[in-house]
Amino acid sequence: MKRIGMLTSGGDCQALNAAMRGVVKTLVNDKQKVEIYGFLDGYKGLIYGNFRMLTGNDFSGILTKGGTILGSSRTPFKTIQDPDENGLDKVEAMKQNYHKLQLDCLVILGGNGTHKTANLLRQEGLNVVTLPKTIDNDLWGTDMTFGFQSAVNVATDAIDCIHTTAASHGRVFIVEVMGHKVGWLTLNAGMAGGADIILIPEIPYDIDKVIEKIEEREKNGSRFTIVAVAEGAISKEDAALSKKDYKKKLASKKYPSVSYEIADRILQKTGREVRVTVPGHTQRGGSPCPYDRVFASRLGAEAGKLILDGQYGFMVGYKNREIVKVPLEDVAGKLKMVSPDASIVKEAKLLGICFGD
Domain that holds residue 114: 2-147+288-331
**What confidence score (pLDDT) does residue 171 get?**
87
pLDDT score for 245: 81
Residues of the chain with pLDDT under 70: none
The predicted structure's pLDDT at residue 244: 82
In a domain, 346, yes or no: no
Within-domain flag for 344: no
| Predicted pLDDT of residue 168 | 82
Those residues with Cβ within 8 angstroms of residue 103's Cβ, 6 or more apart along the chain or in another chain = 3, 4, 5, 37, 127
Residue 181 and residue 268 share a domain: yes
Give the per-residue pLDDT at 246.
Answer: 81
Overall domain count for the chain: 2
Q: According to the model, what pLDDT value does residue 13 have?
A: 94
- Residue 44 pLDDT: 96
pLDDT at residue number 243: 83
pLDDT of residue 138: 96
Residues 62, 124, single domain; the answer is yes
pLDDT value, residue 7: 97
| pLDDT of 276 | 96
Note whether 196 and 252 are same-domain residues.
yes
3-state secondary structure the chain: CEEEEEEECCCCCCCHHHHHHHHHHHHHHCCCCEEEEEECCCHHHHHHCCEEEECHHHHCCCCCCCCCCCCCCCCCHHHCCCCCCCCCCHHHHHHHHHHHCCCCEEEEEECHHHHHHHHHHHHCCCCEEEEEECCCCCECCCCCCECHHHHHHHHHHHHHHHHHHHHHHCCEEEEEECCCCCCHHHHHHHHHCCCCEEECCCCCECHHHHHHHHHHHHHCCCCCEEEEEECCCCEHHHHCCCHHHHHHHHHCCCCCCHHHHHHHHHHHHHCCCEEEECCHHHHHCCCCCHHHHHHHHHHHHHHHHHHHCCCCCEEEEEECCEEEEEEHHHHCCCECCCCCCCHHHHHHHHCCCECCC
Q: Verify whether residue 136 is a known catalytic residue.
A: yes
Within a domain: 349: no
> Per the residue annotation, which of 12, 41, 58, 136 is the catalytic one?
136
Report pLDDT for 134.
95
> Does one domain contain both 21 and 115?
yes
